[in-house]
Chain A
Amino acid sequence: MTRPKQAARSSEARRQGTAGAPLGSAEEWPRPGSARRGPHPHRVRTAATPLASEPPSRPGLEAQAQWPTRGPAATPLGSQESPQRKAEHVAVQSGAEAEGPAQTSGPAQTIPAQPGHGRGIAISVSELAKRYGDIEAVRGIDFEVARGETFGFLGPNGAGKSTTISILCTLIKPTSGKAVVAGHDVVTERDTVRRNIGLVFQDTTLDSYLTAEQNLRFHADLYGVPKAAVGPRMRQVLEMVGLWDRRESLVRTYSGGMQRRLEIARGLLHAPHVLFLDEPTVGLDPQTRSSIWRYINELKQREDITIFLTTHYMDEAEHCDRIAIIDHGKIVAIDTPEALKASVGRDRVQISTADDRAAVAELAERFGIEAAMREGLVTFSVESGEEFVPRLFAELDVAIRSVSVARPSLDDVFMSYTGRTIRDTEATGADAMRAMAQRFRGRR
């Protein structure tokens, strides 16, 4: 089965301008991320609301099979399997083959999209709850994730992130509520969901006594990747994470970061519609973390994939198109990082001046701003830092030596929604434990 969109998005096709106009215009299909500054009202408990960021239909592909596009109610169970899917076999389409004009438009138009390849909703969750005895790990959450979106679950350890992701991955059953992933119910169509998702767990699930290639081949066979596709696809995912040259090394000899990259490659091997990343960078050094994010971003450029991730790193949440902040098993806020930050509010401006005391007085007098000394700097907050700074220079009599403007961070967002910083909630140093376990594994 081919994915129409990729053919259209191939850089070859773009350069040569060969793609038919309708396909070429698929290039302009705004990913949800591109609409970041768009209106995103807080969407807590609004499963029925269509996503504001839902992409417009792609010309030329409208008549094809689609996912159920409007939430769970529209999902007739078990009816999503199209007959084509059963008959599908090898579907390797290299970039080179797609160069010719005929090929470029060919696969996209002749092969009907399988369920899950229409536009729409990748994940839909309503009233989802999970209870362990007396403990309510997840207390009735609702949200939707659009196709192609990178959606982050942000919250401290024990907030219910892992429970939710485990339910969506069909690893545990919800106590109540409903979750539909890639068009299939996670409880009643477990295997179909599993075929359509990729999983990267918090803790490594590689066989360290096998080579990278053997690990991937194992995965390919378990997921039934067509044999002819295994080689090229394996090369592609390994090159993407920069491990192709190390494919014959035992995983045991890999560093923690390399292992995590290999897991991401493996999670992508069977070209899932939705990739779940449970704390993808936990326990890794900052450099490796940023390289993993680079791979994820590249991946979004290249593949038609929805990414659902959990994290408790604030800076990582910024990579997401939308974020849900979860605390005590409930979603307390859900929106784009920008909108969330905007909802918290004001920019913080710090200036150092020739005469700080005079500056504070003048700010109060002329601008009506209450400023205070923090960290040896005159500090105050304003609605929009960028707009205020030019005025400041023009109107303040005291000479300004330096200025810094800080936008509110997700830390501030988390703080404002939960009343705590995310670090306050880190009770056990689980990160350190995990890093230790990883080192132990590496040594073994």
Chain B
Amino acid sequence: MATPTTTEAAASPGSAGAPAGSALTEAIRVAVPERGLRQDLRATVIVWRRELIRFRTDRLRAVTALIQPVLFLFILGTGLGSLAGRGLPPGISFRTFIYPGVVAMGVLFTAIFSAGSIVWDREFGFLREMLVAPVNRGAIVLGKCLGGATVATFQGIIVLALAGLAGVPYNPVLIITLIGELLLLSFTLTAFGVMMAARIKQFQAFMALTQMLVLPLFFLSGALYPLNGLPAWLTVLTRVDPLTYIVDPMRRAVFSHLNISPAALSALAPGVSWGRWVVPLGLSLGIVALMGMAMVGIAIAEFNKTD
């Protein structure tokens, strides 16, 4: 290269001597194939992998995302525990009670933040690179949702590792169940975030809006209190909150692995009820999955509209 600038000259020593002379003599021909399912799948995978690469290189984000759950679990949990512990059966601390909710919280912000990176990408141009590609935009949106879900689940697993400190046993079945539920939760949350990101053009606006929505969702989900015996208005609100339908299965999973009496179990983890009818576990998870898929659908439709 005849006139590299000084920085580049320093940065590329020996490029002339590289044994690549032959490769340079002629263009390598590439045929970009017809658009199809395989191409879309490949696009989904690379968008997913990009999320993982960026998560791996951004350790600070993993650490900061851990701070909030730890604060809730140990500071709030211990502090309020001295008060709330009186209502709990012996051997169960308040920390144990809020543990499932805190695990859910661990993925909450990471998932939303991952989705928010779409807005960031839009501001810094990279989104354009994705949107002009000859692939189905649905494949890109799906890759983004799956990427966010994976990354957030990793984050949740870090919180899961704290189980012992909250008096929850490291039972393999329990852990696998929780990881599965975390995946579902993360996917739905990311889909929610991506859906919002399709419309919001500024990162600050996105963060402000999602924070405004996420905290109420978290507080209404029953993560910090049992869902029975609430005033009617709060009962209705908790039943409307989609997060309720994932926090409850997680709590049921945790409590079924604790050594407590059936009476205490039904008091602490009664399940979500509509009127007197207790929503079965499958339906509860199904609601969350359905919402996730619906939001992915909306997100795809939104991204297909914009150019």
List residues of chain A with CB under 8 Å of any chain B CB: 1-3, 6-7, 9-12, 81, 85-86, 88-89, 91-96, 98, 114, 169-172, 191-192, 194-196, 199, 201, 203-210, 214, 217-219, 221-226, 229, 232-233, 235-236, 239-240, 242-246, 249, 255, 257-258, 269-271, 285, 287-288, 290-291, 294, 302-304, 441
Give chain A nearest CB distance to B1 CB in angstroms: 4
Is the Cβ of A244 less than 8 Å from the Cβ of B30?
Answer: no
Is the Cβ of B134 less than 8 Å from the Cβ of A191?
Answer: yes
Interface residues of B in 64-101 (CB under 8 A from A): none
Report the nearest A residue to B15, measured CB to CB. A245
Report the nearest B residue to A221, measured CB to CB. B46
Set B22, B31, B53, B132: member contacting A94, Cβ < 8 A:
B22
Report the nearest B residue to A90, measured CB to CB. B31
Q: Is B201 an interface residue (CB 8 A)?
A: no
Is the Cβ of B25 less than 8 Å from the Cβ of A91?
Answer: no
Report the nearest B residue to A285, measured CB to CB. B5
Report the nearest A residue to B43, measured CB to CB. A222
Report the nearest A residue to B20, measured CB to CB. A239
Once A and B bind, how many residue pairs between them come within 8 Å at the CB atom? 189
Whole-angstrom distance between the alpha carbons of A191 and B137 in the complex?
Answer: 11
Of the candidate stretches B33-41, B249-257, B287-295, the one touching chain A is: B33-41
Is the Cβ of A88 less than 8 Å from the Cβ of B1?
Answer: no
A-B CB contact pairs (8 Å), 8 listed = A6-B26, A85-B33, A171-B132, A222-B135, A224-B135, A229-B29, A244-B12, A245-B13
Chain A residues closer than 8 Å to B4, beta-carbon distance: 242, 291
Whole-angstrom distance between the alpha carbons of A285 and B26 in the complex?
Answer: 30
Is the Cβ of A233 less than 8 Å from the Cβ of B133?
Answer: no
| List of 5 A-B pairs having minimum Cβ-Cβ separation, nearest first | A95-B25, A221-B46, A1-B31, A222-B133, A271-B30
Give chain A nearest CB distance to B231 CB in angstroms: 47
Whole-angstrom distance between the alpha carbons of A368 and B15 in the complex?
Answer: 59
Set A7, A224, A287: member contacting B39, Cβ < 8 A:
A224
List residues of chain B with CB under 8 Å of any chain A CB: 1-5, 7-8, 11-15, 18, 20, 22-35, 38-39, 42-43, 45-46, 50, 53-54, 57-58, 121, 124-126, 128-130, 132-135, 307
Whole-angstrom distance between the alpha carbons of A91 and B130 in the complex?
Answer: 25
Is the Cβ of B23 less than 8 Å from the Cβ of A235?
Answer: yes
Give chain B nearest CB distance to A356 CB in angstroms: 40
Whole-angstrom distance between the alpha carbons of A229 and B32 in the complex?
Answer: 10
Set A172, A207, A221: member contacting B43, Cβ < 8 A:
A221
Is the Cβ of A223 less than 8 Å from the Cβ of B134?
Answer: yes
Chain B residues closer than 8 Å to A191, beta-carbon distance: 35, 134
Q: Known interface pairs A221-B42, A246-B11. Does A171 touch B25 (Cβ–Cβ under 8 Å)?
A: no
Report the nearest A residue to B9, measured CB to CB. A242
Whole-angstrom distance between the alpha carbons of A243 and B18 in the complex?
Answer: 12
Whole-angstrom distance between the alpha carbons of A201 and B126 in the complex?
Answer: 11
Give chain B nearest CB distance to A273 CB in angstroms: 10
Is the Cβ of B134 less than 8 Å from the Cβ of A239?
Answer: no
Chain B residues closer than 8 Å to A194, beta-carbon distance: 132-134
Chain A residues closer than 8 Å to B135, beta-carbon distance: 222, 224
Whole-angstrom distance between the alpha carbons of A205 and B133 in the complex?
Answer: 12
Is the Cβ of A93 less than 8 Å from the Cβ of B26?
Answer: yes
Is the Cβ of A95 less than 8 Å from the Cβ of B22?
Answer: yes
Give chain B nearest CB distance to A262 CB in angstroms: 12
Is the Cβ of A287 less than 8 Å from the Cβ of B2?
Answer: no
Q: Known interface pairs A201-B125, A218-B50. Does A235 touch B20 (Cβ–Cβ under 8 Å)?
A: yes
Chain A residues closer than 8 Å to B14, beta-carbon distance: 245
Is the Cβ of A242 less than 8 Å from the Cβ of B1?
Answer: yes
Is the Cβ of B32 less than 8 Å from the Cβ of A270?
Answer: yes
Whole-angstrom distance between the alpha carbons of A304 and B26 in the complex?
Answer: 10
Whole-angstrom distance between the alpha carbons of A410 and B46 in the complex?
Answer: 45
Report the nearest A residue to B140, measured CB to CB. A222
Give chain A nearest CB distance to B101 CB in angstroms: 32
Is the Cβ of A89 less than 8 Å from the Cβ of B33?
Answer: yes
Is the Cβ of A172 less than 8 Å from the Cβ of B307?
Answer: yes
Give chain B nearest CB distance to A31 CB in angstroms: 15
Whole-angstrom distance between the alpha carbons of A229 and B26 in the complex?
Answer: 14
Give chain B nearest CB distance to A381 CB in angstroms: 35
Set B5, B31, B33, B125: member contacting A206, Cβ < 8 A:
B125
Whole-angstrom distance between the alpha carbons of A1 and B33 in the complex?
Answer: 10
Chain A residues closer than 8 Å to B33, beta-carbon distance: 85-86, 88-89, 224, 226
Whole-angstrom distance between the alpha carbons of A205 and B124 in the complex?
Answer: 7
Report the nearest B residue to A227, measured CB to CB. B42
A-B contact sample (16 more), CB < 8 A, given A89-B33, A210-B54, A224-B35: A1-B29, A7-B26, A91-B30, A92-B29, A172-B307, A205-B129, A207-B50, A209-B57, A210-B53, A219-B133, A232-B28, A235-B20, A239-B18, A249-B11, A255-B5, A302-B27
Chain A residues closer than 8 Å to B128, beta-carbon distance: 201, 205
Whole-angstrom distance between the alpha carbons of A242 and B46 in the complex?
Answer: 26
Give chain B nearest CB distance to A143 CB in angstroms: 23
Report the nearest A residue to B45, measured CB to CB. A221
Whole-angstrom distance between the alpha carbons of A169 and B26 in the complex?
Answer: 27
Chain A residues closer than 8 Å to B26, beta-carbon distance: 6-7, 9-12, 93-95, 98, 302
Report the nearest B residue to A202, measured CB to CB. B125
Is the Cβ of B15 less than 8 Å from the Cβ of A239?
Answer: yes
